[in-house]
Amino acid sequence: MKTEWFLAKRYLFRGRARHISFIGVIACCGVAVGVAALIIVISVMNGFDRDLTSRLLKFNYHLTIEAENSAKLEKIKAVVAKWDDVDNASIFVQTQVFGKFGDVYLPLGVKGIDFNNEKEKKLFFSSVKQDFKREGFYAGDGLRRRFFVDDTLEYYPLDKKFVLKEDKLSGFFKVGVYDIDNNFLITDLAKAKSLSANYQEFLGVRINDPAKAGAIKDKISRVFGSGAYILTWIESNEVLFSALALEKIAMFIILSLIILVASFNIFATLTVKVVEKIKDIGVLKALGFTSRSILAIFSLQGLLLGMIGVFSGAILGVAVCLVLKEYHFIKLPASIYTMEYLPVALDAPDIILIIVLGILLAFFSSLAPALRASRMTPCDALRYE
């Protein structure tokens, strides 16, 4: 195999100057650009995915549990909170009010949080952008900007008789998810329950590893039977995450076509190389080289071209991602994308998959010309010499 590898390098880096032919350079550049583009796009999509997930989990729980009554929820909370996999368990309520902003009436979700639970309070206040240090509602920053809200909220509680009420706001929060920042109010548990009798009570559970939400759900179902309805954070956002996963797969396939097209340059390079080296092939065959050895020589050339292009593209793609991650010079409209800059998350398995894909495409592109070279007989190769 050493001989085949030596000849493959000699044919590829021809002459004393050891330079690659122009078409070989184009082939390497094409593969490099395709690999770099794929790494950058997939890393940006991973960044969007992770950033959105972290923002959602600031507001939502890993597990949301409903039961037939409050006593049942308290019982579940007392047991679940002691499990090693569980970080925190807290009762919360949800209801609705109709906010009045001048001549505009808007239904707003109200979430009541147990501020006596220090972990829940700390997590929520990490999203608070302005705190007036008083009791009342915390309004989303989107509401503040949309309706020029200052420190007072007029609203109708969800009740049979609509009576306009007015409360001072406690402050403003920003989760970074459009629907939440524009359509929700946050208050303490007692305040939310006092708005009207029309509220729903839940148990929110946060676990140490969000990926294990399904396993914890099954465990709760086994312990408490059918008396509780449990929803994981993945199930709550199934449509959103399914769309993101489908988009990522589609982009991977589409951008992989760039590498596929670039690999045709490798096919062209080796086809020309086979024509150039017909005499050499005949001489090698006459000296006793087998068809398998000739196949190895030319397929190794394609593999070498592919590896140069793939690893150059991987280095370029990772470098661009690191620059984008460190220096946020690509700005995004926050009202549309919920973030101010392009998020980037490098994922080692994705990069390895892209590298392997690029090398395989380059290798398979080299097989056709390599097979043609291996099937030549010494007579055919030396006929016109």
In this structure, the answer to whether residues 122 and 165 fall within a common structural domain is yes
| Range of the structural domain that residue 251 is part of | 2-55+240-382
What Cα–Cα distance (Å) separates residue 323 from each residue in 332, 333, 351?
Answer: 16, 20, 17
- C-beta atoms surrounding 277 within 10 Å: 19
In this structure, the answer to whether residues 208 and 294 fall within a common structural domain is no
- C-beta atoms surrounding 156 within 10 Å: 18
In this structure, the answer to whether residues 17 and 133 fall within a common structural domain is no
| Cα 320–chain centre separation | 17
In this structure, the answer to whether residues 209 and 229 fall within a common structural domain is yes
In this structure, the answer to whether residues 345 and 281 fall within a common structural domain is yes
Q: What is the pLDDT along the chain (385 residues), one digit of tens a residue?
A: 566 666 666 666 664 444 456 777 777 888 888 899 999 999 988 888 888 888 888 888 999 999 888 888 888 999 998 899 999 999 999 999 999 998 889 999 999 999 999 989 898 998 898 998 888 899 998 899 888 888 899 999 988 788 899 998 999 998 888 888 889 999 999 999 988 888 899 999 999 988 889 899 999 888 887 778 899 988 888 887 888 888 888 888 888 888 888 788 777 777 777 766 667 766 776 667 777 777 777 777 778 888 888 999 999 999 999 998 888 778 777 666 666 778 888 999 989 999 998 888 888 887 777 777 767 666 665 664 5
In this structure, the answer to whether residues 121 and 94 fall within a common structural domain is yes
In this structure, the answer to whether residues 319 and 295 fall within a common structural domain is yes
**Burial class of residue 244 in the structure, from the number of CB atoms within 10 Å of its CB (0-12 exposed, 13-18 middle, 19+ buried):** middle
In this structure, the answer to whether residues 260 and 310 fall within a common structural domain is yes
What is the tally of structural domains in the chain?
2
Residue 281 CA to residue 380 CA, distance in Å, equals: 10
pTM: 0.74
In this structure, the answer to whether residues 6 and 117 fall within a common structural domain is no
**Burial class of residue 209 in the structure, from the number of CB atoms within 10 Å of its CB (0-12 exposed, 13-18 middle, 19+ buried):** exposed
Residue 128 CA to residue 310 CA, distance in Å, equals: 45
Residues 6+ apart with CB under 8 A from 146: 182
